[in-house]
A and B are shown apart, each in its own frame.
Chain A
Amino acid sequence: MEWDWAFVIEILPTMIEGVKITILATLLGSVLAAIIGLGLAILRRSKNAFVSKPVGFLADFIRGTPLLVQLYFIFYVLPDAGITLSPLVAGVIGLGLHYGTYTAEVYRGGIDNVARGQWEAARACNLSAFQTWTRIILPQALPPMIPALANYFIAMFKETPLLSAITVLELMNQARSIANYNYRYIEPITLVGAFFLVISLVSVIALRWLERRYGRIEER
């Protein structure tokens, strides 16, 4: 097996097509996970046990089963119930749901960290539940969570090759189809590794910056 630069240049445009899909899936998945996580965290705090218990069970259920199984379920089983999603949409929903249950824990930690007095003060000022959340609690809870959330989004990015199992033509699937066509694995798979490494490293630098910016709120 020898490394062939001409082959690398030949396959590079196709690989970049794959990188685009990978990044798109990660970004959409992150937005979805951020929203789902917040929803889960707030519902789980509900005083009504008929809301908090089922939501808690659902979150534990999703977190306790493998993402790959969930993807298969969304892609291959849901059509039986009349819901046929495109591969990318199914993949984004899978990533968003799965990581939403993790980010929900981050939100919970952040919300619990807001001092009790703040809740009491909000009630004393006669604020509604909606006002309490949007004006008092979340503005204090969110900034310290940002680094932890970003950490999960980097983890999600590295899970996107799983989407190749449901025929999304992302980076890994492009590499496999190139390898299948040319009987060469060394260049395409090495490139997959290189792309992931470069993007992860850049993300980690951004994460460090976020940590410095938002991480230690008390010290500011």
Chain B
Amino acid sequence: MLNLKTMSASIGAIALSALALSVPAKADEALDKLKAQGFARIAIANEPPFTAVKPDGTVSGAGPDVARAVFKKLGVADVVASISEYGAMIPGLQAGRHDVVTAGLFMKPERCRAVAYSEPILCDAEAFLVKKGNPKGFKSYKDIAVDAKATIGAPGGGTEERLALEAGVPRDRVIVVPDGQSGIKMLQDGRIDVYSLPVLSINDLVKKANDPNVEVFAPVVNAPVYCDGAAFRKDQTTLRDEFDKVLAEMKKSGEFEKIVEPYGFSAKAAMSTTREKLCAG
């Protein structure tokens, strides 16, 4: 009984602090708060090379590395990451659980309406992971919609899930796969015909799995190239603007390139487009 009481008390405390955090703060105050607390809370997905957690718990990946570098220049010493489902990131951001999302959350018009994105950071096209030789010949999301038996796996709330649904694949043939390892396992076991992720993520996964029976098809026909940005709360545009300023300097000085290129991302792709273009769809 005592346990129950303390538990409900702590739940109450968590709920209260969540409430306190969701009270809109002015953005320059937001930066001051991050400086004072010494770290920014970022949301990641553990999908290398976008975001990765090493076995010893350190957070890397191109997204968090860029965020860490920018925040350092802004006077925030470090970033602390929590792993989240893609679909849960924006609600989590709005609920004050994260300060910023740096997870390869690609810019799309409906996401731009929900959050304040920075300028583009990581760009990638979409890819399919299929059985060796691509036996069913899938080249686009449409092909999967047309085949009445084909199933596609994608991360829950990710861009690929949405692309598949929008191409007309019915809900019960779009399997929500919790993580990359499960995805490749389900493909090997024949539970899904296609596993879809961005090109670089799939390549990373295939390299680690080292299975000669699967192959990558990329880029997916008719799927656009997407870029992500650091996503801030809608009311923290001043913080976002500060972030953008530092990011632009880093892009100019070549520092940005040095961070993202080793992961396989093209700095040029990110620099040749803008938030405005990507958010317009």
Contact = CB atoms under 8 A, between A and B. Distances in A.
Contact of B87 (A79, A165, A167, A176): A176
Interface stretch (B168-176, B237-245, B273-281): B168-176
A194 B161 CA distance: 27
Given A84-B191, A169-B172, A180 B177 contact: no
Interface stretch (B74-82, B119-127, B182-190, B194-202): B182-190
B42 interface: no
The number of chain A residues touching the other chain, given as a range, is 10 to 19
A173 B188 CA distance: 23
B86 interface: yes
A184 to B, nearest CB: 7
A177 B114 contact: no
Interface residues of B, number: 27
Interface string B146-167: 0000000000110001100100
B156 A177 contact: yes
Interface in A52-83: 76, 79
A179 interface: yes
Nearest to B178: A165
Contacts of B182: 76
A180 B110 CA distance: 12
A183 B87 contact: yes
A180 B171 contact: no
A86 to B, nearest CB: 8
A184 B176 contact: no
Given A14-B171, A167-B177, A176-B156, A79 B86 contact: no
Nearest to B177: A167
A185 B92 CA distance: 10
Contact of A180 (B85, B114, B178, B188): B85
Contacts of B91: 179, 183-185
B59 interface: no
Most buried by B among A14, A84, A165, A181: A181
Interface string B72-108: 0000000000000111101100100000000000000
Given A76-B185, A84-B190, A169-B171, A179 B87 contact: yes
Nearest to B89: A183
A79 B189 contact: yes
Interface in A79-116: 79, 84, 87
B131 to A, nearest CB: 14
Contacts of B171: 14, 169, 177
Contact of B176 (A14, A79, A177): A177
Contact of B157 (A169, A173, A181): A181
A180 B86 contact: yes
Contacts of A173: 176
Contacts of B111: 183
Nearest to B110: A183
B189 A181 contact: no
A170 B26 CA distance: 41
A165 B177 CA distance: 9
A183 B111 CA distance: 9
21 contacts: A14-B171, A76-B182, A79-B191, A84-B189, A84-B191, A87-B191, A167-B176, A169-B171, A176-B176, A177-B87, A177-B161, A177-B171, A179-B87, A180-B85, A180-B88, A180-B156, A180-B157, A180-B161, A181-B87, A183-B111, A183-B114
Closest 7 CB pairs of A and B: A180-B87, A180-B157, A79-B189, A183-B90, A180-B156, A185-B91, A84-B189
Interface of A: 14, 76, 79, 84, 87, 165, 167, 169, 173, 176-177, 179-181, 183-185
Given A181-B87, A181-B157, A181-B161, 15 more contacts: A14-B171, A79-B191, A87-B191, A169-B172, A173-B176, A176-B176, A177-B171, A177-B176, A179-B157, A180-B85, A180-B156, A180-B161, A181-B165, A183-B91, A183-B111
